[in-house]
Chains A and B, each alone.
Chain A
């Protein structure tokens, strides 16, 4: 990846479709997990991994790789699906999701899974971790870039804004955040729990370069990811307006699928929709 090759949007869309199937199959098998936020984030992740992330699938530990920090670590099925589709994980790995001894832990964990750069599970920490990676890259005079996937509900954590302020102060121009703006969190809609308002404007006020995008339109995502990858005038945030559960009719915009796996019948219907 990251070789500047011509981008085939339809190929990325096909990869995202296959990832969605993985997400549903692994959460169904585990009878637990968080499909909703994985389905909302997956298109952005495919756009990043599929176009610009410098990452060697045969050597995921390559020291000078770009980093992808899955701060919303409960959406781990999206991470595992990407790594599966890229050949880092195999089918048995992802189907063992959440079971004893599995390399696919409930929340992404850098010590358990090759290709995972951050141990998440507690929201609000990944942007700080990414900033640490970004500062280190600059100290090393490396061009590696650091991408951080945030949930929109996650931005209720104060630590996000500690990191946002620090990233601007330290001119972390190699740091990119994506906010998966699906408007649903664990208990209910974000505007019911605690509305976060114009999250892009908030980042802008902290000195970040910000763009918004339709987080399910692959052509737009490829464009904005390319912009973010090239932008070097400061930390960059992308607000991806998404739909929780995207791609499966009965999961879309449905808070109950934040942390609930599809049952047998729901899986059958969902796979039919994605066929």
Chain B
């Protein structure tokens, strides 16, 4: 299942996923002047009659999507992750509360977005959407998984938020055959520590697991592409097996994947968790990898976190 290679950005997978589900006449695409960036533009090219452009007006976009969903359509509405947040209350009250099947895609999520700077680097989207009842929150790691998970949204019958990213990262998948929304994907098995990662940090986690293995620390690496609902069965199983965790996300350590796992730990089984993420601060302009290094979001940060986690587990 895993085959790191030169791949595409997860936003490209979203665009391809939309084309795969286009044969369903209920599918409509809604844009707010960023279709070329989110990659819904490919759907627009082939299905202009089912693509609605609403200009730079995200609040209106969310409720137009809701109205269409109430009329039997399945809208896929996209903009930058950060600009979906502008319409947070619209998502909460207008989409999620009535439980309408509107699928929001926020692209360019995270610090990895790079040179556009801190205004464009959403680091809180997973956290805020995770707090909304009925919302499914998904953050794929590469284009292959994004394409597959996008097609699965069609069957959800409820609202969702998918975060995609701007830049290309190594592919973690050859195909999406075994991916399921709500089920973490185990990319590597090891008994010393479990690393739960999402988005661009999955590749970093896989690289870290090689380094750690050479030191004698064997890792289970999970692509936790679905942040909500949390795959508690898998977490429980790995808590028993590994006894300590690392979370790794290009997102604030407050409230995201690490936050979700720490909630599980606090209420189920007290084991060490070390969190790799944005440490409650804003980014700045710069190259993706420069920024990831500056913010502590690299393979080596995951290695250090894993060592700490294992050390805490083994502490008498």
Contact = CB atoms under 8 A, between A and B. Distances in A.
A132 B69 CA distance: 8
A75 B42 CA distance: 43
Given A110-B98, A111-B99, A166-B57, A129 B89 contact: no
A135 B64 contact: yes
B71 A136 contact: yes
B59 interface: yes
A117 interface: yes
Contacts of A133: 67-68, 70-71
A245 interface: no
Contacts of B50: 139
Given A129-B63, A132-B63, A170 B52 contact: yes
A166 B93 contact: no
A198 interface: no
A91 B72 CA distance: 32
Contacts, number: 100
Nearest to B62: A128
A63 interface: yes
A149 to B, nearest CB: 15
B63 A159 contact: yes
B166 to A, nearest CB: 26
A54 to B, nearest CB: 15
A64 to B, nearest CB: 10
B54 interface: yes
Nearest to B89: A122
Given A122-B93, A136-B73, A128 B55 contact: no
B90 interface: yes
B70 A166 contact: no
Please classify the interface of chain A as helix (H, G, I), strand (E, B), loop, or mixed, using the class held by over half of its residues.
Answer: helix
Interface string A153-190: 00000110011011001100000000000000000000
Contacts of B75: 132
Contacts of B99: 111
A31 to B, nearest CB: 25
Q: Which of B59, B60, B70, B73 has the most CB of A within 10 A?
A: B60
A140 B49 CA distance: 11
A166 B71 contact: no
Contacts of A109: 97-98
B242 interface: no
Q: Which of A111, A125, A140 has the most CB of B within 10 A?
A: A125
A137 interface: yes
B89 A132 contact: no
A158 B69 CA distance: 23
Contacts of B66: 128-129, 132
A167 B69 CA distance: 17
A160 to B, nearest CB: 9
A159 B60 contact: yes
Contacts of B62: 128
A119 B92 CA distance: 11
Given A119-B97, A119-B98, A132 B67 contact: yes
B71 A111 contact: no
B52 A135 contact: yes
Contacts of A35: none
B302 interface: no
A130 interface: yes
B98 A166 contact: no
B65 interface: yes
Nearest to A117: B70
B164 to A, nearest CB: 23
B70 A159 contact: no
Contacts of A132: 63-71, 75
B94 interface: yes
B64 A128 contact: yes
Given A110-B98, A136-B73, A166-B55, A131 B93 contact: no
Given A110-B70, A137-B71, A125 B93 contact: yes
Contacts of A159: 57, 59-60, 63, 90
Nearest to B66: A129
Interface in B72-113: 72-73, 75, 89-90, 93-94, 97-99
B67 A130 contact: yes
A119 B93 CA distance: 8
A60 interface: no
A121 interface: yes
A125 B90 contact: yes
Given A119-B93, A119-B94, A165 B63 contact: no
The 6 closest A-B pairs by CB, nearest first: A132-B67, A128-B63, A136-B71, A162-B60, A162-B57, A132-B64
Given A110-B98, A134-B67, A166-B64, 5 more contacts: A131-B64, A135-B64, A139-B50, A165-B57, A170-B52
19 contacts: A63-B72, A110-B98, A119-B93, A119-B98, A122-B89, A128-B60, A128-B63, A132-B64, A133-B71, A134-B67, A135-B52, A139-B49, A139-B73, A140-B71, A162-B54, A163-B63, A166-B57, A166-B60, A169-B55
Interface of B: 28, 49-50, 52, 54-55, 57, 59-73, 75, 89-90, 93-94, 97-99
